[in-house]
Each structure stands twice: as C-alpha cells, then as structure tokens.
Amino acid sequence: MPYRPLVSKIRVHNPNKVRASVANKNYVRYIATREGVALDNPEDMDELLRLPGMEGVDMNEQVVHEKVSNENYLRYIACRPRSHGLFGNIDTSDLNAVMKEVADVSSQNRVVYRGIISLSEKDAEALNFKSTADWNRYLKKVMPGLAEKLGISSTDHTWIAAFHGEKTHPHVHYELWDNSDKVKSPFIHTSTQKKCREFLSKEMFDNEYEKMIGRVFQEELEELKSIRNMGRSSILQKSEKIIEDAVYVPGVIYEVLPDKINHEDAVKIKDEVNVLVRMMGDGGHGRIAYKFLPEEMKDQVNQIADLLYKRTDIRKEMEGYIKAVGETQNYHGKTQSERKSAESAAREDMHNRICNKILKVVKGNFDLRKKYNIEQSSNSEDCTNKMEKTIEYLSCSADQGNQYAEYKLGSIYADEGEAYYDMEKAIEYLSRSAEKGNQYAEYKLGGIYADENEAYHDTEKAIEYLERSAEKGNGYAEYKLGSIYADEGEAYYDMEKAIEYLSRSAEKGNQ
C-alpha cells in the first residue's frame, strides 16, 4: 500500500462542440475573476503567461484540464511556471511543431486524451520520482497499456507530457492520441477511468515497494500511536497530580511546583477543588461519573478543567496529542473533514477523561475524610491546628500508598522554615513517592542531594534522581542536571552533557 493512492484523471474535449478560441476565452475569463489577479482581457494563453505577476501564479489545474483547448493545453503544460518541459515518444524539441500536430489532430475531429498522474510527496520521495527523466521512464512503460484500455492502438499512438515538481503532489500532464484516422467517441466511462487508475497504480507500486512501504507505514503509525498514547497518559497523570496536591492540603498555602503555573492560578485550582468537595456533600458515596453529574456540579468540574488547560505544559501536550490524532487520520487516508472530526472527538474525549480524573481524586479525598473523621472547613481562617490536621490527613493517605500524599508530606518535612522540619522524614516520604515514579518527588530528592549545604549532600544520588525526573520530561530537573555537569569544580564535570540537558530545558521555556 502506498502512502497515498495514485491520482489519475483523464478528460476529453468533444472536438465537434468546443472550438479552441471559445475554450481559451472561457479559461481566461475564469482567471480574470480570481481574487487578487488583475488582468486586461488577454486573448490567448501566451499573452496570459507573459503578463506581469503571472510568473508565480499557481494556475488551477482542474480548470486548465477541463476548459482549455488541446493546442493551448499543450502550450500551458510546456510553458507554465515550474514546468520541466515537454517530452514524449515523438521529437518535442520544436514546441511549435508539436503544437501544430496536436492542432491538426483536433481539427480532424479525432479524440485527444488529456490526463494527470499525481503522487504524494512521500511516495515520490521513496520511489525517487522527482525529475522529468524518472517520469519519462515510467510513461514509456505504461503508455501502451494505457492506450489499450482507452481503446486506441497500443503500438500506433502518440503521447507527450510535462512534469510539474509540486512539493506536495509531484505530477505529470500528458496528451495521448491514436495515429489512425479513426474517429472515437469522446465519452470515457467511469469504469474505464477506474481501470486506468488501477493499471497505472499497479505499474507504479510493485510488490517489493508495497512491502517496503507497508513496513515503513506500520512503523511510523506505531510510533505516532505511541506519541499519542504517551501524550494522553502524561496529560492525565499531571492533571491528577495537580488535583491531588490541591485537595490534600486544606488550609495550607499552595506550593508552586516546577509545573508552569503561576501562584494565582494554583490558588484558584485549590479553591475550586474545595468548592467541589463541599458540593459533593453526602453525594460522595458510590460511583460518580462526569457524564451523569447534575449540571451545577458539572459546571464546577469544567471550571477546574479550564484552569488546568491554562498550564503551559498541559496546553502544549494537549496540542501535541491532538496533532498526533490528526496525523494518524492522515495515515489512514482520511479527508480533511474526517481529520477535523476526529480531532474534535479526541479533544472532547480528553476533556471527559480529565473531568473524571478530577472526580476520582476528589471522591477518594472525600471518602478518606469520612473514614478518618477529618473535617474540612469552608474557611481556612477558621481551621485550628491547620498543619497538624494536614499532616494527620496526609499521613492517613500516605498509609494507603498515595504517592502524592507521600510527596506532599516529604515537602513539608523538607521545609527548613517550618517547625515540622525533619530531613530524615522528608527523605523517607519522598523516596517512597519516587519509587512509585513521581517525577516531582524525584526532582525534590535530587535537589536535596545536590545541595552542598545539606548534611545529606550526595552528587551521585542527586544525578540518579534528577535523571529519572528528566526522563519524564521535567525541565527543571534537566536544568539542575545541566548545572551540575557544567560545574568545572565537580568530579562530574561534562560540558557535552551540560549542553544537552540545558538545551532540553531551554526548549521547554526555562530561562
């Protein structure tokens, strides 16, 4: 299977009904009405092509194909911008002589077939069909068979062509006619068009090419699917982490992690999550799904999701995910409309998944509060012993194996400015969270071990944890790693690695 189906279109002017001059004028009239083109009623194709500003005009292939007379169509494919010149099974060095021959054939009321054969950019690249010589070899091979399918002599016919190296769809225009005096019907049945297209495609894409493209296609498609799935997983994981972090620390100032979100928006997320907790009330029991929520509660979940979308990293990953969905559609040969429909469906599906992820975290939080009788005050100023309550609550959650609670506890114990500062406990909880793959815990541990003023300073461990976090795309871990490797006074000095990690961090917008 090629990357894209080969395109073949064959047209015929009825020589009894269409005069060259009328066709020419109809074509010129069309060009003259195109937006941004100002013409002064040129009388023929030559005059049109010589007009100032026409050198770069991308003429409409379909109109040229259907409206212009044989003689002027020939002149068009030979003279239009980006044409690579005429070639064929006759001498094409004298353009005027070839044009005269076509005109003579047309004047004898004989049918001249006019066709286009087009490839996708990838197929042309893989087959090395990028020059006149490549297409000339191909046409020499297929023209006898094509002539036969059109009902003309496979041994006594004439064809001429020109190659246009369009980047996205390199193609050839050709004209083909029988050399006998036989008059044929200008009608081409759709079944004949199909047979010609299948024949041309079969001759273009042999079995070996099919196998090669099939392998490449499958590999690229699998890679694209992997990118798509990883993007979806990353978005959901980050969304879950943010909500976990917001809901597990009632009454405590929200910690702004290296997650591309400003403090004001972080506080808004926390406030809106706590509003949702209160809205759930006794409705927190049993299974809860976004699709079946009351409208008021659904609107609240949507508000939280909208705040998540404001994050630079989530927005960027969402765009990458939607793009991968669209490109997957392209690989399956879907239309532009089908691609947009698939992208829209993917965006809606992702929104539903994020909203359900929000509900899952809040529901889990709600259940834990009831299980351990930990009250949630609607006003943080009314909370007594806020930090004790927070630590009690986080400890309960951490005992259930919640990596975000473990991470948050570790962060609290690692804060030297707090009365609860305890580096041993900090490392214990952060290590438990890091073992579950939490990139933020890995980053935090890396920072602790990288701090030369800490009693726990250990550059080797710092690199180990920072690399694990960097592998998950944490730009701040990449920056800290780059800084370690860039320090000439360190035994781990490695400028090549420093540049690599700092560059990766810079690409994420870290200054």
Give the C-alpha separation, 315 to 462, whole Å.
Answer: 30
- Determine contact, residues 390/372, Cβ cutoff 8 Å: no
- pLDDT at position 338 is 81
Segment 455-478, tens digit of pLDDT:
888 999 999 999 999 988 888 889
Give the C-alpha separation, 386 to 50, whole Å.
Answer: 82
- pLDDT at position 442 is 93
DSSP symbol at 6: P
**Dihedral pair phi/psi, residue 88, rounded to 5°:** 175, -165
* Cα 257 to Cα 253, 260, 465, distances in angstroms: 12, 8, 17
Helix (H), strand (E) counts: the chain? 20, 5
Nearest to 474 by CA among 499, 438, 450: 438
Give the C-alpha separation, 378 to 279, whole Å.
Answer: 11
One-letter identity of residue 333 = G
- pLDDT at position 465 is 93
Per-residue b or e along 404-425, where b marks 16 or more CB atoms closer than 10 Å to that residue's CB:
bbbbbbbbbbbeeeeeeeeeee
Both tokens assigned to 201: 């495609």
Low-confidence ranges of the chain (pLDDT < 50): 20-59, 81-84, 249-259, 284, 376-384
Burial of 5 (0-12, 13-18, 19+ CB in 10 A): middle
Give the C-alpha separation, 295 to 330, whole Å.
Answer: 37
Nearest to 420 by CA among 395, 383, 398: 395
Q: Residue 207: which residues within 8 A CB-CB, separation 6 or more?
A: none
Largest interatomic CA distance in the chain: 104
